Amino acid sequence: MHNIIFAGHDFAAEFDIAPNKDFAIAKFILDEDDDQIPLIEIHVGIAKGNPHLVVAPDYNFQHILKKLEKNAGPGNFTFEFMYGPDDDMDVDDEDDEDDDF
- The whole-number pLDDT of residue 101 equals 34
Q: Is residue 33 in a domain?
A: yes
Q: Is residue 60 in a domain?
A: yes
Query: What is the pTM assigned to this prediction?
Result: 0.70
Q: Is residue 10 in a domain?
A: yes
Mean residue pLDDT of the chain comes to 82
Q: Is residue 93 in a domain?
A: no
Q: Is residue 95 in a domain?
A: no
Q: Is residue 59 in a domain?
A: yes
Q: Is residue 55 in a domain?
A: yes
Q: Is residue 100 in a domain?
A: no
- Kindly list the distances between the CA atom of residue 57 and the CA atoms of 7, 81, 95, in Å, as whole numbers in the listed order: 25, 6, 29
1 Cβ neighbours under 8 A, 6+ residues apart: 30
Domain housing 26: 2-87
Structural domain tally of the chain? 1
Model confidence over 5-37: pLDDT tens digits? 889 999 999 999 999 899 999 888 887 777 888
